[in-house]
Structure 1
Amino acid sequence: MIRSKLPPIIDCKDDQDSVTWTIEIAADLDFFSGHFPEQPVLPGVTQLDWAIKLGCKHFGYPVNVATLEVLKFQQLMLPNSRVELTISHNPAKAKLMFAYSDGDKRFASGRIALNSETTQVINSADSN
């Protein structure tokens, strides 16, 4: 896990198995420094870090990633933009599915497979 600061959250819409955050991608975020000088772009590793941290916290999973699946970066996320991060989860498979978007415009998406042994221990403890 990288040491990153979460972005400002403008709004949050919570559904039973999914949540959508509207986040502000301010130009003064440290992540833009040097990535890239001629056109700052939010690094994919930062996007992943935010999805993992926010998703795990919201759904009560430990931050213990096993693998990343079907990871796609479709468009560049630029400074001074507002995007939605939607995360849903599949507790039976210990997976989080995430997508960054702005309307029909998709920036990134993928699945985060969590370490199921750790997740099962926590879920079992919750049911007792």
Structure 2
Amino acid sequence: MSELPSTIAQLNHTAVFATDRQLSAEFLAVILGLKVSAPFGLFLPVDLGNGVTLDYYEMTNEPIQSQHYAFLVPDEQFDGMIARLDAVGVTYYADPSHTEPGRINRLFGGRGAYFDDPDGHNMEIMTRPYARP
């Protein structure tokens, strides 16, 4: 029996369902200050800074089930992301339930906010990772 590699499992990519993959991928890329990559088969990837790719997949025959995606972002880029949300008229919230509009949170010594993408996915930007026991 061969041994498993000593590295840990890492997320490489995940599919994000969208009614319009171009619109949704470009929306997130603009807010986070990223670029949309060339299509890869049925997927339109947005490459994140840690080697993970969000692969937007267009679904037009079923309703999109809302998912949550959280992004650890540099503190010095947070204000720009909030400004871009304001510029495109997207409300951000301090909480995941979207009850505190136009506010940010200050969890774990950082800053964070939640907002919906064009398909209602609950996106989160945060400058500090959650403290775990």
The TM-score, its normalising length taken from structure 1, stands at: 0.29
Instruction: Between the two structures, name the one with larger relative contact order (CA 8 Å, sep ≥ 6).
Output: 1
Larger proportion of strand: 1
Larger Rg: 2
